[in-house]
Amino acid sequence: MVYTRNRAKCSVFILIVLFLILLIENGVLCQSPVFACDIGKNPSLGSFGFCNSSLDIASRVSDLVQRLTLQEKIINLVDKAGAVSRLGIPSYEWWSEALHGVSYVGPGTKFSSVVPGATSFPQVILTAASFNASLFQAIGKVVSTEARAMYNVGLAGLTFWSPNVNIFRDPRWGRGQETPGEDPLLSSKYGAGYVRGLQETDNDPNRLKVAACCKHYTAYDVDNWKGIDRYHFNAVVNQQDLDDTYNVPFKSCVIDGNVASVMCSYNQVNGKPTCADPDLLSGVIRGEWKLNGYIVSDCDSVDVLYSSQHYTKTPEEAAAVSIKAGLDLDCGTFLSQHTEAAIKGGLVNVSDIDRAITNNFATLMRLGFFEGDPTKQPYGKLGPKDVCTPDHQELAREAARQGIVLLKNTAGSLPLSPTTIKSLAVIGPNANVTKTMIGNYEGTPCKYTTPLQGLTAVVPTLYSPGCANVACATAQVDDAKKIAAQADATILIVGIDLSIEAESLDRVDLLLPGQQTLLINEVVTASKGPVILVIMSGGGFDITFAKSNTKITSILWVGYPGEAGGAAIADVIFGYFNPSGRLPNTWYPQEFAEKVNMTNMNMRPDPATGYPGRTYRFYTGETIYEFGDGLSYSPFNHRLVKAPTLISVPLEEGHTCRSESCQSVQLVESHCQNLAFDIHLGVKNMGSMAGSHTVFLFSSPPNVHNSPKKHLLGFEKVHLTSQREELVKFRVDVCKDLSVVDEFGSRKVALGLHVLHVGDLKHPLSIMI
């Protein structure tokens, strides 16, 4: 904040200076520097190695670190990093957010009359439902362009603490909306794709457009459920679940996405706060995955582990234990307050502080922070004209269209024909909402198109909210029934918003809140035409009543569809777009919320206690809708063209499994290299309407090591015109894709019969030694 304010002040001065043609150096007018290494304005900086861009980043950072006093080092351990004016380094605010568009959450970014809003994409859970990996990256690329444009005019930082890749393992979680859903592969593809979109520059792989951050590591996902909150929650997680579920997207962020940062969470994992666990931080993120970047704490996490969790006796111990565990940056002020005393007390060495700030400065260097005026650098030409462009806003609408999931469609219901439907009754608490559509970690959008506005643009509408808000203590059914009885079709737009599911707010049940169910049932009985139920939410519901009511002819789930959500809903309802979204999470019955503790982190069922397990990979109970469910206006057919039935894995001489029988083998990397094969599928659009279709390749492994009943190996979205068939190819890597994680967290190839499935096709594949 200080940084941007000073820069604005300077700009005013610069204008005055130019206007009066006074050749006064800007440094004279501004106390604190505006840009680091602004050699043009301050030639004396040119002699510093850290300002010399022909040196490599490691040399520049080590030059900088050895010039700093201890106090100057310590002020660079926190998000509001202090200026080092004597070296020409301004202050920097690390905390900006860009979950689904540049956000005002976090002090590093703000909107002003210069940039009043940014493109607000659908909340992540809906974008994930598109199952379109190129879309994930395309959105990230637009967001980073808008972020850079805002940075150039002093309105944003360069370090964005997005995406959230926690596994959405319980439908009640208030932050599930921020995530790409319950599946480790989808979450990995989303995380890596979005990160690449944010970070990648055109040429230099070590340069960053902006820096992304995958959070919250790890096994988070309880916010506040029945009095148990994230600041006190100890997630008891076994090694198998950690390695085959919770950590998978983080690993992909680091290894496949090359993310510049990982954020540790508030909760404890097995009795240790994640931000103070050397195995999780130095061991896994930096050691095994080789993070090139910085590890940041969730905001005030270090304070929380001391003040709320009482994990250490003194604040100095908390500072020392987290830095030594591998934490580089504290969101908060705790480390700026307690690190010096921790060093004086011998609890942590200066070399540990040097490691932390080295990671932080290296990230800023990759971002060009030490290259002087950003407007003279790559991306320097981006400015307010590059935010909310028509193309960017069209992509927000396109993303919502691609994500919307058609869950039920009785023959002849959708799409509605704008020529035969002369009037629509639009009813429900979310029918004309604006802010609800963008969910949390939002920014100010360019503009909104509400569902009512989107539908009214196509046909004349009658509108009655029926419920004043989603909690809806008393539904006003009379007016709603009246318009439903008059109109040719009825669209009911219901669901929830941040008053029901949010950060620090988990749900306790899976039913539509308030009197929404009553409203729906009353409207349905009164309606003249077909009733289309549209559900706006992050998590799923038990809507058995609507599924089985034949007068409700269609059901759509639209997530929180972003700024253009209403236009996208209309596009789907009137058939201007053939729906192709698929559920990224299981919809459970209400009974699940009554029986299962949200705090139980186990993925696998436990027959002894009746615990049903979690997500499509393990859950054994009834569902309302399943992971991957979703209809189109066209049926699509799959045909197996090519797939092996037998794979032999090589083993070295003397491997124990050559003489004994083994259920699974751990393969060394060299043996994995040639163990990949192709699956070719013919996919045909059997309908009369062009559309996209996601091909899901699942595998059911043999039942060893409590393996998942099925898991997703790959997905590929194809666009097909009517009656067209295309070949879809999957490359399957046996070690990576067909392995399971054993009880100790080791990846092993299960021997025996794997059944591959695509739609209704099943294909047996034996893996033998």
Binding site for ligand NAG (CB under 6 A): 46, 52, 54-55, 132, 134-135, 138, 346-349, 398, 432, 434, 450, 452, 463, 597, 692, 717-719
DSSP tally for the chain: helices H, then strands E: 24, 27
Nearer to ligand NAG, 52 or 239 (CB): 52
Nearest approach in angstroms of CB 128 to ligand NAG is 13
Nearest approach in angstroms of CB 591 to ligand NAG is 12
664-665: strand order across its sheet: 664-665, 747-750, 739-741
Nearest approach in angstroms of CB 694 to ligand NAG is 8
Number of Cβ within a 10 Å radius of residue 533: 26
Ranges of H-type helices in 608-674: 615-618, 656-659, 669-672
- The phi, psi pair for 526, rounded to 5°, reads -90, -15
Alpha carbon 239 to its chain's center: 24
Nearest approach in angstroms of CB 650 to ligand NAG is 37
Nearest approach in angstroms of CB 221 to ligand NAG is 16
Annotate 670-728 with DSSP letters as a single string: HHHTT-EEEEEEEEEE-SSS-EEEEEEEEEE--S-TT--S-EEEEEEEEEE-TT-EEEE
Amino acid code (one letter) for 391 = D
Three-state SS at 404: coil
Measured CA to CA, the distance from residue 102 to residue 446 in angstroms comes to 11
Angle of CA points 412, 415, 417, to nearest 5°: 95
| Tokens coding 186 | 């989808």
Number of Cβ within a 10 Å radius of residue 657: 15
Q: Which residues pair with 691 in a beta bridge?
A: 720
The question of whether 298 is a catalytic residue gets the answer yes
Measured CA to CA, the distance from residue 257 to residue 246 in angstroms comes to 17
Nearer to ligand NAG, 157 or 439 (CB): 439
Nearer to ligand NAG, 324 or 671 (CB): 324
Catalytic residue (choose from 38, 170, 298, 328): 298
| Tokens coding 574 | 């009137």
Torsion of CA 70, 71, 74, 79, to 10 degrees: -150
Nearest approach in angstroms of CB 728 to ligand NAG is 10
Nearer to ligand NAG, 52 or 766 (CB): 52
Report the relative pairing of strands 552-557 and 531-536 from DSSP bridges.
parallel
Nearer to ligand NAG, 304 or 427 (CB): 427
Nearest approach in angstroms of CB 615 to ligand NAG is 18
Q: How far is CA 162 from CA 359, 360, 377, 445, 515, in A?
A: 18, 17, 24, 18, 36
Nearest approach in angstroms of CB 589 to ligand NAG is 16
Nearer to ligand NAG, 320 or 500 (CB): 320
Nearer to ligand NAG, 206 or 417 (CB): 206
Contacts 24+ apart (CB under 8 A), 646-650: 646/765, 646/766, 646/768, 647/675, 647/677, 647/734, 647/765, 647/766, 647/767, 647/768, 648/768, 648/769, 649/675, 649/734, 649/749, 649/751, 649/767, 649/768, 649/769
Nearest approach in angstroms of CB 55 to ligand NAG is 5
Nearer to ligand NAG, 79 or 398 (CB): 398
Nearest approach in angstroms of CB 718 to ligand NAG is 5
Give yes or no for a contact between 167 and 178, defined as CB atoms under 8 angstroms apart. Answer: no
Measured CA to CA, the distance from residue 154 to residue 375 in angstroms comes to 11
Nearer to ligand NAG, 54 or 688 (CB): 54
Residue nearest to ligand NAG (CB): 692
Nearer to ligand NAG, 52 or 314 (CB): 52
| Tokens coding 112 | 């002003």
Instruction: Using CB atoms within 10 Å of the CB of residue 31, give its burial: 0 to 12 exposed, 13 to 18 middle, 19+ buried.
Output: exposed
Nearest approach in angstroms of CB 582 to ligand NAG is 12
Three-state SS at 488: coil
Q: Which residues pair with 263 in a beta bridge?
A: 296
Give yes or no for a contact between 490 and 209, defined as CB atoms under 8 angstroms apart. Answer: no
- The phi, psi pair for 622, rounded to 5°, reads -70, 150
Nearer to ligand NAG, 592 or 698 (CB): 592
Report the relative pairing of strands 261-264 and 294-297 from DSSP bridges.
parallel
Q: Which residues are catalytic?
A: 298
